[in-house]
Amino acid sequence: MLFPPGELILLKENGEFLLPYNKLMIYYFSGTGNSKNVALWLSRVAEENEIECNMINIASVDTLNIDPPDPLH
């Protein structure tokens, strides 16, 4: 586990307390499959650490009708 759930993390650079991330959006393009494998690995690590994860293959995105991500979801 990267961080114990719900614990505060102390940043040494400025001394501020922050909560760990709880969501991850992975955008990838993979001509050979290597980038997709890395995206899948990141997704598994995120889920093991209770981080909600979504993957988007940018090759399959309709570039004329892109909706911006909702920062609240």
Q: What percent of the chain has pLDDT over 90?
A: 40
How far is Cα 37 from Cα 68, in angstroms, rounded to an integer?
Answer: 25
**Contact assessment for residue 49 and residue 24, using Cβ atoms and an 8 Å cutoff:** no
**pLDDT at residue number 38:** 96
How far is Cα 50 from Cα 20, in angstroms, rounded to an integer?
Answer: 10
How far is Cα 45 from Cα 49, in angstroms, rounded to an integer?
Answer: 6
Query: Does the model's pTM come out above 0.85?
Result: no
Sign of the Cα torsion 28, 30, 33, 35 reads negative
The per-type count for the chain, helices as H runs and strands as E runs, is 1, 4
pLDDT tens for each residue of 24-54: 999 999 999 999 999 999 999 989 888 899 9
